[in-house]
Amino acid sequence: MVGGGAAGLMAAGAAAQCGAEVVLLEKMKTPARKIRITGKGRCNLSNTAELSEFLEHFGKSGRFLRQAFGQFFSQELVAFLESRGLTVGTERGGRIFPENGGAPAVARLLLDWVAGVGVQVQTEAAVTGLLIREKAAVGVVCNGREIQAERVILATGGLSYPRTGSTGDGYGLAQAAGHSLVPTRPALVPLETNPDAVRDLAGLSLLNVNARLFVDGKKRRQQFGELGFTTTGVGGPIILTLSSLVVDALRAQRRVRISLDLKPALDDKKLDARLLRDLEQRTREPMRSVLRGLLPRELVPVCLRNAGIDAEQEAGHLTAAARKKIRLWLKDFSFEITGFRSYDEAIITAGGVQTSEIDPHTMESRITSGLYLVGELLDVQADTGGYNLQAAFSTGWVAGKAAAAELPNPAEL
């Protein structure tokens, strides 16, 4: 077993429970480092969505995961965790979280579990090569020495959060075994804008807004929910969900714009009536004060600046044309997207090993027998909401059990 993240720990434990002798090689000083920071330390484990809806969040890659989810899905994961003392709860959007202890509790549970079923965990053990004979994996090269094995599972992760050990090592190992890669790029990543577009908004979060994504002037997708402004642009759940399309569009040198509807519950007519009522009731007040009834403090000067209205303008003297500018801006706070953040801030990696080269029932390579590839190493990626972590757990579980079942005798790496 190469890699001690979510997929690797699950694979190691599942194989050991089936009677295999398992050695887990982790290049960092401690395993499960990425798990400990997942979901900002809260660890969004999975989601309560039914299988058909769950798969939709993976786009084209969802079809590949159907077999793995059929063997180990959210219900099995929850039962696994709760049987080992970790109570979970469900939050908005069906997201499943630990009720106590957060991500560190999940990491401890997995490490205690693999130790309890006899997995030998070796840390600071960097795997730099695979041993392949007659198109079969027979071991690895670790810290300069060869380690023989009857089965090898690669669970090295992608490129996101490299400080946790995810530095893309597995891609080279997979290619050495004959696999091809879909180009990798950051996914679920904050986006960058022109600094003037978000000036003085860093730290502001907005709830219940609608974000529309335009590529070369054509609407591609929209998301409703929460977003936040950063020092370089925008982030938060709905932005992260849109980011995969944005990254691909920017890499293709296409023009990307995001438009925010700050009042999605009000159509144009109702919003205009609301503005008229506020203006009539507060005729002597400056517009900077009146708009506080509609917007967070930080957005008021942005609105006034974009509408070309003086902050001290009395509400009673506002023209119909100026009122229309405010209304239009509230329904279309728009800015160009100029870039995206690096792998240091990306939650996952898009791209990776071609899933057509992997048996979806077992996670075994179709190219090199005895080699299994799981988790973020694969070209499988989803929206935020617990979907990606479930994919790591599921592919790990399936690979561990399948690898152990194929052993002629109980010995595995």
Q: Which two tokens stand for residue 210?
A: 């609608």
In a domain, 410, yes or no: no
The pLDDT value given to residue 390: 98
Q: Write down the pLDDT at residue 412.
A: 43
For residue 410, what pLDDT is reported?
Answer: 46
Whole-prediction pTM: 0.93
Cα(329)–Cα(307) distance, integer angstroms = 7
Query: Per the domain annotation, does 413 fall within a domain?
Result: no
Same domain, 181 and 196: no
Domain end: 341, 356, 380, which one? 341
Verify that 337 and 353 share a domain, yes or no. no
Residues belonging to the chain? 413
- Helix ranges (H only) for 236-386 are 237-251, 268-281, 287-290, 300-307, 320-331
DSSP symbol at 157: -
CB within 8 Å of 112: residues ≥ 6 apart: 84
Q: Do residue 291 and residue 398 come from a single domain?
A: no
Q: Judging by beta carbons within 10 Å of its beta carbon (0-12, 13-18, 19+), is residue 338 exposed, middle or buried?
A: middle
Q: Are residues 56 and 171 in the same domain?
A: yes
What is the pLDDT, as a whole number, of residue 409? 56
Q: Which residue stretches of the chain have pLDDT < 50? A: 410-413
Tell me phi and psi for residue 239, to 5 degrees.
-70, -40
Same domain, 196 and 149: no
Q: Of 341, 371, 394, which residue constitutes the final position of a domain?
A: 341
Do 38 and 153 reside in the same domain of the chain?
Answer: yes
Domain presence at residue 116: yes
What domain range includes position 304? 190-341
State whether 318 and 400 are in the same domain.
Answer: no
Residue 411 is predicted with a pLDDT of 43
| CATH number, position 123 | 3.50.50.60
Q: Is residue 85 part of a domain?
A: yes
Residue 348's closest CA among 137, 82, 92, 168? 168
Is residue 11 located within the same domain as residue 61?
A: yes
Domain stops at, among 326, 341, 356: 341
Flag whether 14 is in a domain.
yes
**Cβ-based neighbours of 231, under 8 Å, separated by 6 or more:** 202
Judge whether 232 lies within some domain.
Answer: yes
Asked whether residue 337 falls in the same domain as residue 354, the answer is no
The residue type at 369: S
Q: Is residue 93 part of a domain?
A: yes
Residue 331 within any structural domain of the chain: yes
Do residues 355 and 372 both lie within one domain? Answer: yes
Looking at the fold, whether 120 and 225 belong to one and the same domain comes out as no
Q: CB of 206 within 8 A of CB of 226? A: yes
Q: Are residues 27 and 164 in the same domain?
A: yes
What is the domain count for the chain?
Answer: 2
Q: Residue 10, Cβ neighbours under 10 Å: how many?
A: 28
Residue whose tokens read 């099995």: 76
Q: What are 412's strand-pairing partners? A: 22
What is the pLDDT, as a whole number, of residue 3? 98
What the block records as the tokens of 212 is: 């529309």
pLDDT of amino acid 406: 83
